[in-house]
Amino acid sequence: MWSGWWVWALLGLCAADQFREQARRIMSDTPAVDGHNDLPWQLLKRFNNQLLAAGANLSSLEGTHTSIPKLRAGFVGGQFWSAYTPCDTQNKDSVKRTLEQIDVIHRMCQLYPETFACITSSSGFGEAWAAHKVASLVGVEGGHSIDSSLAVLRALYHLGMRYLTLTHSCNTPWADNWLVDTGADEAQSKGLSPFGKRVVKELNRLGVMVDLAHVSMATMRAVLELSKAPVIFSHSSAYAICPNRRNVPDDVLELVVSAPAAPPRPPTAPRPSKPRPRPQGLGPNQPHPRPLSQQKQNRGLVMVNFYNDYVSCQKEANLSQVADHLDHIKKVAGAEAVGLGGDFDGVTRLPAGLEDVSKYPDLVAELLRRGWSEQDVKGALANNLVRVFMEVEKASNHAAAPEEEPIALDQLEASCRTLYGYSRAPLLQPLLGALLTTTAPLLLSLHLL
């Protein structure tokens, strides 16, 4: 009797080991490319971006989810490092802060050349992997980082930005954030303002991926309608599994889908939350979503966030629940739309079994255990992102004229900025004031005021 139990337990162990072994074999060929890691933010908070400070050595860094040994143990071969600056920098020093976070990413590559290779094109992945390095890219998190300037957007592109998250957790003057869908923030652009549309066109023209993590539903739809290239969600999970507004609902997943197209569904997808006005965030100026059959499919990518609150909608979560999100996105949008965007070092709670970046092979083993093919696993690890990046590059057009028209002055918060270039409006106000002061005594004397 007891020997039977022993044999089964051993078989179980062997099976577990077999998937772990298979995961490591797959990943030594196709490593993980992750969409979002906030190590640069930790470097700012802990060391004021001084990489030579005591304790800042990335080979022995402690108290973070990310270090060089953990990246190596996790078979991480590509990382979008987040150049993140919080919403309270909006209309203040957001551009300076963003430049500093891009600079610290570049200095990571310079200081640890045997580990990191800063790349700016899809062809860089293969080269980095051949040299056994972590391909490192810049993702700018938060549209406030461009301070409503297409010129700043272009400058950030030249500094290596290869995705721009259109908002963080605040509206910009031109795009709405996810808190609009919770009711915590008011809809402002109702998707994208006219300037927001120019931002998306310019990102398309340059070959910068548009990142829809953190944006409102209406903004997701407006971008999916407009973008000529596939989009990404650099760190978002599935709303159907955990109904948090940071996650991607099924009707949007159906637009992100890659070929072969998912079977059409009735356009009114059921909503898990309590009834709310259906066209949330869709104002009169916003085209009503066309039936799915008429909408183009984007061929984009949803890179799953590991933050407990987005995985289980609770404080606690585990690795298997993260796999549930991957399974769901695969089911609704297809295996080519699945990716990983752990949000390591940007969150406070992580699932049991995915505590730091060294744990990716355990997640891959779980997918294999669930019957994922090697091809689908490799897609989620790296190939889907590389494919999207290549399509974005292909859709770019550097010969086309750059977008020029600036944001309308009345959409800028003007309290601490100069307004050079906006000649008419700023001149008009002092002029009217002067006119009034000179004519008021006269008008008063005529009993006209």
Ligand X SMILES: *[C@@H]1O[C@H](CO)[C@@H](O)[C@H](O)[C@H]1NC(C)=O
Active site residue 158: no
Task: Please state the closest distance from residue 62 (CB atom) to ligand X, in A.
Answer: 13
Residue of the chain from 18, 48, 50, 59 that contacts ligand X (CB under 6 A): 59
* 150 versus 323: smaller Cβ distance to ligand X: 323
* 18 versus 182: smaller Cβ distance to ligand X: 18
Using the contact rule CB under 6 A, the part of the chain among 57-65, 173-181, 182-190, 228-236 near ligand X is: 57-65
Task: Please state the closest distance from residue 109 (CB atom) to ligand X, in A.
Answer: 12
Q: Does the CA dihedral 422-426-432-435 come out positive or negative?
A: negative
Per rule CB under 6 A, is residue 49 in the interface with ligand X? no
* Paired strand residues for 175: 192
* Paired strand residues for 238: 248
Active site residue 225: no
* 59 versus 439: smaller Cβ distance to ligand X: 59
CA 186 from chain center: how many Å?
Answer: 22
Active site residue 214: yes
What three-state secondary structure class fits 94?
helix
* 144 versus 328: smaller Cβ distance to ligand X: 328
Q: State phi, psi for 185 to the nearest 5 degrees.
A: -120, 155
Amino acid at the residue 260: P
Residue of the chain from 87, 111, 170, 408 that contacts ligand X (CB under 6 A): 111
DSSP labels for 28-61? Answer: HHS-EEEEEE-HHHHHHHHHTT-TTSTT--TTT-
* 122 versus 321: smaller Cβ distance to ligand X: 321
Active site residue 144: no
Using the contact rule CB under 6 A, the part of the chain among 4-12, 54-62, 80-88, 372-380 near ligand X is: 54-62
- 144, 214, 325, 328: the active-site residue: 214
* 73 versus 111: smaller Cβ distance to ligand X: 111
Write the binding mask 65 to 84 for ligand X: x where contact by CB under 6 A, - elsewhere.
--------------------
DSSP labels for 308-350? Answer: HHHHTSSS--BHHHHHHHHHHHHHHH-GGGEEE---BTT-S--
- 225, 343, 356, 366: the active-site residue: 343
Residue of the chain from 57, 115, 149, 295 that contacts ligand X (CB under 6 A): 57
Contact set for ligand X, span 307-326 (CB under 6 A): 318, 320-321
Question: Residue 314 has which token pair?
Answer: 């609770």
Residue 392 and residue 140: Cα distance in Å, rounded?
16
Active site residue 141: yes
Q: State phi, psi for 24 to the nearest 5 degrees.
A: -65, -35
CB atoms within 10 A of CB 391: 19
Q: How far apart are the first and last CA of the chain?
A: 104
CB atoms within 10 A of CB 438: 9
Contact set for ligand X, span 274-313 (CB under 6 A): none
Chain residues in the site for ligand X (CB under 6 A): 57, 59-60, 111, 318, 320-321
Q: Which residues are catalytic?
A: 36, 38, 141, 168, 214, 235, 343
